């Protein structure tokens, strides 16, 4: 056993931790006046859209999957699919489509859970959501 070897897993965890703390600080500076919006967007903004969005399904596929899951009574899966589509649309500045997906997610959410509150907060001011998303995406990648 080599006592002087650093674990790659530990280094990865440190890197992930520092990136997410930087990201949180940057978002907080954009939304410091609204803790509810900060919490919602912390869960909905895509950190690296150029890399992450191509790994996701497109919004039409997510809608189809969400509708199928909801029809089968699997609201959790439906909510996740609708929310993922909303995240993509928020990043793309597609206000009406993002709001439509948030409404669908709201319909599949347990009203007692935090995600329902996130959806309601964002739906209450989609213009603010898109403004913050745009500002967030224009930050240097290291700051996101």
3-class SS string, the chain: CCCCCCCHHHHHHHHHHHHHHHHHHHHHHHCCCCHHHHHHHHHHCCCCHHHHHHHCCCHHHHHHHHHHHHHCCCHHHHHHHHHHHHHHHHHCCCHHHHHHHHHHHHHCCCCCCHHHHHHHHHHHCHHHHHHHHHHHHHCCHHHC
pLDDT of 6: 44
pLDDT of 42: 92
For the four alpha carbons of 31, 34, 36 and 37, in that order, the dihedral sign comes to negative
What Å distances lie between residue 103 and 85, 89, 120, CA to CA? Answer: 12, 13, 9
For 82, the token pair is: 């609708």
Instruction: Please tell me the pTM assigned to this model.
Output: 0.80
If pLDDT is split at 50, 70 and 90, which confidence band does 92 have? very high
If pLDDT is split at 50, 70 and 90, which confidence band does 26 have? confident
Mean pLDDT, range 101-128, rounded to an integer: 96
The CA distance from 81 to 60, in Å, is: 10
């Amino acid at each position: 056993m080599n006592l002087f070897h650093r674990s790659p897993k530990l280094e990865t965890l440190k890197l992930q931790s520092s990136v997410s703390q930087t990201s949180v600080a940057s978002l907080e500076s954009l939304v410091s006046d609204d803790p509810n919006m900060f919490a919602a967007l912390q869960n909905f903004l895509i950190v690296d859209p150029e890399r992450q969005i191509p790994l996701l399904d497109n919004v039409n596929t997510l809608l189809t999957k969400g509708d199928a899951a909801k029809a089968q009574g699997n609201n959790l899966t439906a909510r996740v699919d609708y929310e993922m589509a909303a995240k993509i649309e928020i990043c793309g500045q597609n206000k009406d489509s993002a709001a439509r997906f948030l409404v669908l997610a709201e319909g599949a959410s347990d009203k007692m859970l935090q995600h329902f509150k996130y959806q309601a907060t964002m739906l209450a001011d989609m213009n603010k959501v898109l403004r913050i998303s745009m500002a967030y995406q224009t930050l240097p990648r290291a700051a996101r």
